[in-house]
Copies of this chain bind each other. A is one copy, B any other.
Amino acid sequence: MTNIGIIGGSGYTGVELLRLLLPRDDVHVSFVSSRANAGTRVDEVFSSLRGFTELTFSDPDDIVASDCDLVFFATPNGTAMSQAPALVENGVKVVDLSADYRIKDIATWEKWYGMTHASPEWIERAVYGLPEINRAEIAGAMLVANPGCYPTAVQLGFMPLLENDLVETDSLIADAKSGVTGAGRGAKVDNLLAEAGDNFKAYGVAGHRHLPEIEQGLRAMTNSPVSLTFTPHLLPLIRGIHSTLYARLKKPTDLQSLFEQRYKDEFFVDVMPAGFYPETRSVRGTNMCRLSVCQPQGRDTVVVMSVEDNLVKGAAGQAVQNMNLMLGFGETTGLALPAMLP
Show the binding face of A for B, using Cβ within 8 Å. Answer: 12, 15, 18-19, 22-23, 44, 46-52, 171, 173, 175, 177, 179-181, 185-189, 191-203, 205-207, 211, 227, 229-231, 233, 235-240, 242, 244, 246, 248, 267, 270, 272, 275-285, 288, 290, 292, 294, 296-297, 299, 301, 303, 305, 307, 336-342
| Contact pick for A340, options B47, B200, B340, CB 8 Å | B340
Given known contacts A233-B242, A290-B47, A296-B229, A180 and B194 CB-to-CB distance under 8 angstroms: yes
Q: For the complex, give the distance between the alpha carbons of A225 and B196 in Å.
A: 39
Chain B positions within 8 Å of A197 at CB level: 180, 193, 197, 236-238
Task: Please name all residues of chain B whose beta carbon is closer than 8 Å to the beta carbon of A180 when the two chains form the complex.
Answer: 192-194, 197
Nearest-neighbour CB distance to chain B for A201, whole angstroms, equals: 4
Say how many copies of this protein the assembly contains. 4
Task: Tell me the bound Cα distance from A229 to B297 in angstroms.
Answer: 9
Residue contact B199 to A280, C-beta cutoff 8 Å: yes
Which residues of chain B are near A52, meaning CB under 8 Å?
Answer: 338
Say yes or no: A341 contacts B173, CB within 8 Å: no
**Could you say which of B44, B181, B278, B342 contacts A342, with CB atoms under 8 Å apart?**
B181
Q: What are 9 pairs between A and B in contact, CB < 8 Å?
A: A23-B337, A47-B282, A48-B282, A173-B173, A177-B177, A180-B192, A180-B193, A191-B192, A198-B281
A23 near B336 with CB under 8 A, answer yes
With A188-B192, A197-B197 given, can you name 8 additional A-B contacts, CB distance below 8 Å? Answer: A46-B341, A48-B281, A50-B270, A181-B342, A186-B189, A229-B296, A229-B301, A285-B285
> Pick the contact of A202 from B244, B337, B338 — CB < 8 Å?
B244
Report whether A201 and B280 are in contact in the complex, using a CB–CB cutoff of 8 Å.
yes
CB distance from A265 to the nearest CB of B (A): 13
Closest chain-B Cβ to A185's Cβ sits at a distance in Å of 6
CA distance A198 to B340 in the complex (A): 12
Q: Are A187 and B189 in contact (CB-based, < 8 A)? A: yes
Bound complex: CA A321 to CA B279 (Å): 30
